[in-house]
Structure 1
């Protein structure tokens, strides 16, 4: 079955209901299911007229937008293959993906992406045409066309091309923390079988009334799979183009669902903790009482027990005094929030649960069509990645490596048979590269990336992720990268939370000059030393960060220091800042 068949079934069921939302000229707009399908089919016919046939590759190089998902579904309904490119990828990265995938047409979003595509088009023998989603982009007429003009004269009637489970739907190039990007081949069967597994696992009620906000990049398997799942189930999806506007968008759009990465929740958690620490004693008491009541209610709900009337009453007061204000800043309607892409600490998920905002923690990879495991609605265990979905099977192999089988496992890496063979065992299990174990209740516990596990020169093994999570749960730390491999002790490169730090400067009588100067002042270094002493109390001596460098700017996606889901590319950062790191050990 072609995964896009939901366009027909959902249009028949609720033609006038909103399918997608998007912002145009500072105003939120909507497309009904009937009009959404119409736009997809017109685009599919335009691609067909342009010579795209089954199994041809078509690329998308753009920020999230209504045009992104319309183009993607048009490509898939035609039986062709979508090749998404991160909007933050530079010219060289985009050029590699277009050459490797042999894409014939590309959709671009902004001027920089268009300019890069033109340069690539002039060198690339396969790429034939650039389609531009926004009229604000200046284009050269030759081999370039605005999407609006591209589809203008096309018919809205279209027959979706039938596909088998094993037929290729997309090639997603991993932005992995090491090595050259590999094109992960996912099939139509990978997608819709995973969708069915999710609906069976969560047993949503009236899913068509839900409203998801697409906030993570659609290029990433997590947001792409989640967005397609929402549309597959008839829910509305609103697309956020500029992620910096997430705070205002949440209050404007008021979604009920949204998938995100741990950093989003860590920032909220750290900000609230800092705000409470600076409050009056009476406000602290109220907050702590509310959290205690919320935690009791959350624990009863988690274990499937009933909440007494008196506790419900207390929780109502706690919600009115404390939780409601925080929920309002997140739109007020969020109740289902899948979280993945990296590990999240138990204290953060417990904190949100106490406020009545449940984070559904999950685990998966691009190669597994995202979710392998997730928290069920009840009897989940904090600090784990939940239990398996659908027909997924997991075993623990050599070096505690998590290995998986099931409907979500990729077809392989595009044009890379040797690399494909490397990640599968002789008996057909996919090797995730992550280390883990099962607890006594069958929950998967991720211990770390096998490649990331570090051994100090004293022979002690250090897992960096739990330490980095502990540090970045603090409001004054945006990101931390732990260093220990072959070293006598643990050190870290720390990215301060520059907003919080700027507010602190007047209290320390430090005039703002530049961040290069600020992070090197003794007062700021002493402040962070104190913070680290407080944060690391629970760690063993050999795990504690003994020395650190405060970085004057955040790690950048464009320079390759972090992935689009904000994971640090250790090899890149280690090579780039080798002198700074060496100084900590000299």
Structure 2
């Protein structure tokens, strides 16, 4: 079955006038499209692509920020039996060119001027298949001599009636290029069946009630498997999806859209958690007592529900008071209606998931990779274990192989890497299990715990192994630390490059009468470094002596996507950072 048919056709027949997607144009409010209208635009786009020469199994690239056009183009390509190739909007011309050449994409949808200019540059070269550039925004200045069209004009004169190409479950639906924290990006081949079976497994796992009434806000990049899979799953189940173009506007969008569900990465939860705790600490002793009491009450009720035990009447009354006095205010900052939040991309500390559970928001921590159509394991609604990555989805098997490596097989496992049989062979065992490259363990109840990336495990010169992710998580749960890179491989002790949370550090400077000059000077300030020394000492109090950070360097600016230091999903490219700041690191030893 074609994934586009499973999403569009099914929902048009079921509820044609119900809202399907929402979007916001510049200087305008949020608008919606019904399933009928959404379907018409998808089919018009498919027909226009067909007229432009796109055939079954041809590659169609999308190089754009999140938008309704992104999803329309994606579903239009798939409905034709073509293969969608997402490119991160933050990728530079060289990175985009690699993906376009490797995938042999013929047509590309771009979002803004920089993406358009990069695509024109690529189109002019003779070493690729790129023929046509489609532009989603009229604000972009285009050169028609380079076979460029605005999407609105591209689809203006074609029919809204289209025939969806029949596909087998094993046919490729998309090529998603790994973000390449190490090495060259590889094109992961995910099939129509990978998506459809994974979606069905989620609905079987959660048994959602009235899913069609849910509203999701897509703010992570659709180019990444996590947001794309989640947004497609929502549409597959008949829920509405709103697309946020600029993730920096997330706070405002939450208030305007008031989503009920949304997928997010650990940093999103850490910032809210740290912000709430900081505000509670700054309040009066009475407010602090009320906050602590509310959290304790919320935790008590959350634990009973997690274990499917009845909540006594008296505790329910306390919970309502806690909701009115504390929890409702926390939820308001997130739009007021969020109750279900899948979290992926990295591990999340148990104190953070416990906090959200106490407040009444279920953060369903999950684990998976691009190569596994996002989800392998996740928290169910009950009987999950904080600090783990949950249990395997129906149709997924997990085992622990050599060197404690997590291995998987089942519904979501990729078909392989595009045009790369050697790399494909490397990640599969002889008996057909996919090797994740992550280390972990499974408890007697089937809960998976990730210990670390096998490639990231560090061995000190004293022969001690350190798993950096857990320590980095521990420190970034604090409001004053935005990013951290732990260093220990081959060294006699652990050190770190630390990016302060500049907003909170600015407040600290004011309170301590430290005049602000510039961040380069501030991060070298003795009082600031003493403050961080004390903060780090407190945070790592419970770590083993060999795991503790002995020295650190404060960085004057955040690690950025456009400098190649982090991926679009905010994962640090450790190799890049270690090489770029080698002198700073050596100075600590």
TM range (shorter): over 0.9
Q: Which residue of 2 aligns with 1:273?
A: 277
The within-5 A match list for 1:264-303 is: 264-303=268-307
- Corresponding residue of 1:368: 372
CA distance in 2, matches of 1:327, 1:26: 26
The reply on whether 1:8 has 2:9 as its aligned counterpart is yes
Q: 1:434 maps to what in 2?
A: 438
Measure how far apart 1:89 and its partner are: 0.4
Could you say which residue in structure 2 is the equivalent of 1:229? 233
Distance 1:221 1:48 in 2: 26
SS at match of 1:291: helix
**Hey, what does 2:461 align to over in structure 1?**
457
> 1:11-66 CA distances to partner (integer Å, 9 max, x unpaired)?
11111110000002331000000000000000000000000000000000000000
Equivalence for 1:130: 133
1:488 is paired with a residue whose SS is coil
Instruction: Tell me the distance in 1 between the aligned counterparts of 2:69 and 2:444.
Output: 47
Residues 502-513 of structure 1 correspond to what in structure 2 (within 5 A)? 502-513=506-517
Q: Matched residue of 2:398: which SS?
A: strand
Q: Distance in 2 between matches of 1:424 and 1:9?
A: 35
* Distance in 2 (alpha carbons) for counterparts of 1:373 and 1:447: 15
**Match in the other structure for 1:203:** 207
Q: Secondary structure of 1:313's match? A: helix
Q: Equivalent of 2:472, from 468, 484, 487?
A: 468
Shift of 1:141: 1.1
Equivalent of residue 176 in structure 1, options 165, 174, 180: 180
Unaligned runs of 5+ in 1: none
CA deviation map 1:83-125 (0-9, x unaligned) = 0000000111001000100100000001111111111111144
- Structure 2: distance between partners of 1:55 and 1:320: 55
**Take 2:350 and 2:463, find their aligned partners in 1: how far apart are those partners?**
28
Q: In structure 2, what is the Cα distance between the partners aligned to 1:129 and 1:441?
A: 53
Partner of 1:403: 407
CA distance in 2: counterparts of 1:59 and 1:203, whole angstroms:
35
**Aligned match of 2:144:** 141
Task: Quote the residue 1:61 is aligned against.
Answer: 63
| Residue of structure 1 equivalent to 2:561 | 557
What secondary structure is seen at the aligned counterpart in 2 of 1:492? strand
- Contact 2:460/2:493, CA 8 A, preserved across alignment: yes
The answer to whether 1:92 aligns with 2:94 is yes
Distance 1:356 1:165 in 2: 38
CA offset at residue 176 of structure 1? 2.6
- Provide the residue aligned with 1:34 in structure 2: 36
Residue 343 (structure 1) aligned with residue 341 (structure 2): no
Give the drift of 1:440.
2.3
Corresponding residue of 1:164: 168
Q: Secondary structure at the match of 1:341?
A: coil
What secondary structure sits across from 1:451 in the alignment? coil
Separation of aligned partners in 2, 1:125 and 1:447: 42
Distance 1:503 1:39 in 2: 49
Q: Establish whether residue 528 from structure 1 lines up as the match of residue 532 from structure 2.
A: yes
1:480-521 Cα deviation digits (max 9, x unpaired): 111000000000111110111111111111111111111110
Aligned residues: 585
> Which one of the candidate residues 570, 575, 583 is aligned to 1:571?
575
User: What is the CA–CA distance in structure 2 between the aligned matches of 1:514 and 1:163, rounded to whole Å?
Assistant: 58
Which of residues 29, 46, 49 in structure 1 aligns to 2:48? 46
Distance 1:407 1:473 in 2: 34
TM-score for both structures, normalised by structure 1: 0.99
Hey, what does 2:387 align to over in structure 1? 383
Deviation at 1:309, TM superposition (A): 1.1
Aligned to 1:19: 20
- Secondary structure of 1:337's counterpart equals strand
Q: Partners in 1 of 2:335 and 2:488 — Cα distance? A: 41
Task: Say if 2:366 and 2:389, in contact at 8 Å, map to a contact too.
Answer: yes
The whole-number CA distance in structure 1 between the counterparts of 2:40 and 2:420 is 37
Structure 2, unaligned runs of 5 or more: none
Q: 2:81 aligns to what SS in structure 1?
A: coil
Alignment match of 1:194 (pick from 171, 195, 198): 198
Q: Does 1:244 align with 2:248?
A: yes
Secondary structure at the aligned position of 1:452 is classed as coil
Query: Displacement of 1:467 after TM fit?
Result: 0.2
> In structure 2, what is the equivalent of residue 108 of structure 1?
110
**In structure 1, what is the equivalent of residue 505 of structure 2?**
501
Distance between the aligned counterparts of 1:82 and 1:435, measured in 2? 31
The 1-side partners of 2:278 and 2:494 are apart by: 26
Q: Distance in 1 between matches of 2:447 and 2:261?
A: 24
With the length of structure 2 as denominator, give the TM-score of the two structures. Answer: 0.99
Cα displacement (A) at 1:281: 1.1
- Whether contact under 8 Å (2:110, 2:133) holds in the other structure is yes
Secondary structure of the residue aligned to 2:141 is coil
Report the alpha carbon displacement of residue 282 of structure 1 after superposing the two structures with TM: 1.1
Worse-matched range after superposition: 298-307 or 274-283 = 274-283
The answer on whether the counterparts of 2:456 and 2:468 sit within 8 Å (CA) in structure 1 is yes
Q: Residue 168 of structure 2: SS of its match in structure 1?
A: coil
2:217/2:243 contact within 8 Å kept: yes
